[in-house]
Amino acid sequence: MARVPPELYAHREWLGQLQQVGLVVSPQVLVDNGVFVDRQKSIDAQVFLRALLPDADSASQASRDAAIDLLALTRDVLEWPDGLLAGGPGGLPLPDALTIALPEYNDTLSPSYALPDPEKAGEWLALVSMVPAGTDLDRAPEDHGGWRAAPHARLERLLRETSVPIGLLFNGASLRLVYAPRGESSGHLTFRLAHPAETLGRPMMGALCALLGVERITDVSLEQQRLPYLLRESRKYQNKVSTELAGQVLEALWELLRGLQRGNEESKCALLAEVLRERPGDVYGGLLTTMMRLVFILYAEDRGLMPGSDVYQRHYSISGLFERLREDQARYPDTMDARFAAWAQLLVLFRLIHDGGGHGDLRFPSRHGRLFDPDAYPFLEGRPHESHRQLGDPVEPPMISDGVVFRVLNNLLILEGERLSYRTLDVEQIGSVYEAMMGFALQVATGPSIAVTPKHIVFNVEELLEQKPGERAAWLKEQTELKLTSDLLPKADSAAAVVGALGNRVSRYTPHLMKAGDLFLQPTEERRRSGSHYTPRSLTQPIVQTTFSPIFERLGAQATPEQILDLKVCDPAMGSGAFLVEACRLLAERLVHAWEVHKSTPKVPDDEDVLTYARRLVAERCLYGVDKNIFAVDLAKLSLWLATLAREHPFTFLDHALRHGDSLVGLSREQIACLHWTPTKQLPLIRTFIDARVAEAQKLRLQIHSMGASDDVPVRRGCCERRRRRSRTCA
């Protein structure tokens, strides 16, 4: 394993102690931009911090002096100059623009202080919120009037409404750094001030000074070392993380395939014989579905969308299962592939998510949907392919070992030696992970076979050896797109010699030669041509904004909520839903604005904000999509479910709008009128209705074409362009 540079190790050390929730800052970004932990400064800062901390028996005094403690902390420990905080002694007054009205709750949100941006007059770098000493930052107070939400939720909403992404939350004992860019997932990092003051907490003390010291706030000489830049770049760095994770997820898919094959051999081929004979594509579908389930649950667990009970964490959660397997791997590495309990636990969790169940704080609502349907791929549970489960039917799970499950989860959860938090990933990045697994076909090796880079295409080594020595390189390039100049390839006289000649061009997904009869994943022609691509937000955001611009101009600033919700957005080749997710975000922001303009904001649940509620309404009423890849349709539904945090909704809540099919198949007018591929006699009443709608559609199409001929009328032909390039949305 490569040695970790000491500067990077120092940042990983304090992050390991604090455990950020979501993504606030990346250690690699700090190192790349010259931000390091100053150990001597940490020692000096500890002296000042210890002087500020109240004695254990003076909690009441700490409560009375909480505001003084915050100002003293920023002055003595962080070295902020006097008068820096707007709203504080000697500082600027807080402007009215930082107070947000919540008429639906008869409440307002406003910061205690604000940090002005030293580079942009009139703009704000961060908002500071103080709450009474001892207040739980994550629990709504019982006696609060108005919007009954936790202090953290109130600050997050204030940040999003004011478009100030950075916030500080202080309760006399803890200082929390919150990063909540508008339209993105939030993250936070909490310093419990008693801990950095301890000797063992010196790394945390160094982190507090490195992140919030005066040079991060006021120094404008080095933009790349200021706090806003560091937090923004940390988000961008996540794109690299998701790319590396996608490779590991594909490796996990191969590992699961090998585990399923060993389970098939343990059953004397009874597990997969029927499905391989009748519907071989379902084996790949079952593998892909399992990986999608795991990634979804890990994301949902980190986002707090799964039951929060201790029983769930100890006995059902995937993260808890991984920790137990990791401990077993350390203590009993030789027996990991001889035990078979973990797979059965996963199957129980999959069924609970689909069917619902539990009691009290362990209750699972029924999610339904195709992704977790046990009958979609019954061989995953060891059942015959055509069987449907009945209450009380015995289930004998396939013999997939704990070692396989551990290696799969290790690829999903450990990245560059660190535990990955899925909460730090946006929906688009989760989509890129999913799409890395798509575009393969399950095949059976006919002889000793191996995969090679760059496309990870599998070839039969015996077929290569049958070629003339001088023609082997050309044959290999034609079959696998690998250009190899090794002098060893023409001389190879065995399968092992061929592998040796390939050297480091052997794919990591096939570390050893496969034998005849082994299952493997072969990239399809489409994947070989285009690879795996999930449209990044840097592309979807400007395209969607440009597409909607003329529509919003036509509606005007006074558009009503119903006008926004009456808009219909259709993506006829939606893939995994990247454009629909971005359209959901954009329309939700306009809907919230319309509610504010017309003073009609509905009351939303206390544990969520109005923007999330708006996204859910938009997803249900405005968005439509079609794709011929059934797995892409599943992913699009999940992407929107995650983007809207539809905690109480089943996965089927968008089944009416996101459909599996081919939108590019042409139909004649007669076929449309008859609602069938084969024109047949139609009832006159229905035929009249359909003919009228078709005529209306043709009239609108002519109007659009005539508008497009005018230079002064902007037109977006999203559908046609999307069909040709799969790079636009349609509104």
- Domain edges within the chain: 6-225, 236-438, 446-516, 537-725
**Both ends of the chain: CA-CA distance in Å?**
50
Q: Are 542 and 604 in contact (CB under 8 A)?
A: no
What whole-number distance in Å separates Cα of residue 265 and Cα of residue 338?
14
pLDDT digits (tens, 9 = 90+) for 114-169: 999 988 888 999 999 999 988 899 888 877 677 778 899 899 989 988 999 999 99
Above 50 in pLDDT, residue 96? Answer: yes
Q: How confident is the model at residue 12 (pLDDT cuts 50, 70, 90)?
A: confident
Q: How confident is the model at residue 714 (pLDDT cuts 50, 70, 90)?
A: very low
Provide the mean pLDDT of the chain: 85
pLDDT digits (tens, 9 = 90+) for 466-493: 999 999 999 999 999 999 888 899 999 9
Of 317 and 240, more confident:
317
Q: How confident is the model at residue 533 (pLDDT cuts 50, 70, 90)?
A: low
Q: Return the pLDDT at 726.
A: 38
* Residue 602 per-residue DSSP state: P
Angle between helices 578-597 and 630-643 (to 10 degrees): 30
pLDDT digits (tens, 9 = 90+) for 24-38: 998 989 999 999 999
Which residue in this structure is represented by tokens 């393969």?
440
Region of residue 439 (left: phi > 0; alpha: psi -120 to 50; beta: else): left
What whole-number distance in Å separates Cα of residue 556 and Cα of residue 476?
61
Q: Return the pLDDT at 451.
A: 96
Q: Which residues pair with 128 in a beta bridge?
A: 113, 168
Q: Return the pLDDT at 61.
A: 42
Over residues 230-254, the mean pLDDT reads 86
Above 60 in pLDDT, residue 585? Answer: yes
Q: Return the pLDDT at 389.
A: 62
CA 513 to each of CA 224, 241, 583, 621: distance values in angstroms, whole numbers, following the listed order: 48, 30, 47, 52
Q: How confident is the model at residue 325 (pLDDT cuts 50, 70, 90)?
A: very high
Above 70 in pLDDT, residue 701? Answer: yes
Over residues 545-564, the mean pLDDT reads 93
Q: Return the pLDDT at 344.
A: 95
Other C-beta atoms within 10 Å of 224: how many?
12
Out of 221-225, 457-461, 590-594, pick the least confident. 221-225
Handedness of CA 404, 407, 409, 412 (dihedral sign): negative
Highest average pLDDT, of 419-428, 496-505, 652-661, comes from: 496-505
Handedness of CA 302, 305, 308, 314 (dihedral sign): negative
Above 60 in pLDDT, residue 717? Answer: no
Query: Is the pTM above the cut of 0.85?
Result: no
Q: Is the preceding omega at residue 228 within 30 degrees of 0, hence cis? A: no
Of 579 and 679, more confident:
579
Q: How confident is the model at residue 513 (pLDDT cuts 50, 70, 90)?
A: very high
pLDDT digits (tens, 9 = 90+) for 330-366: 999 999 999 999 999 999 999 999 999 888 888 888 8
pLDDT digits (tens, 9 = 90+) for 223-234: 889 999 999 999
Over residues 635-650, the mean pLDDT reads 83
Other C-beta atoms within 10 Å of 201: how many?
23
Question: Hey, what are 302's tokens?
Answer: 């980190």
Residues 6 or more apart from 558 whose CB is under 8 A from it? 597
pLDDT digits (tens, 9 = 90+) for 259-318: 999 999 999 998 999 899 888 889 999 999 999 899 889 988 888 888 888 899 899 999
Q: Return the pLDDT at 724.
A: 36
Over residues 428-440, the mean pLDDT reads 80
Over residues 47-51, the mean pLDDT reads 90
pLDDT digits (tens, 9 = 90+) for 354-412: 999 888 888 888 888 888 999 999 999 998 876 666 656 666 889 999 999 999 999 99
Over residues 534-550, the mean pLDDT reads 85
Q: Return the pLDDT at 710.
A: 42
Q: Return the pLDDT at 59.
A: 40
Q: Give the rounded percent of residues in the chain with a pLDDT score beyond 70.
A: 89
What whole-number distance in Å separates Cα of residue 589 and Cα of residue 619?
13
pLDDT digits (tens, 9 = 90+) for 184-205: 778 899 999 989 988 889 999 9
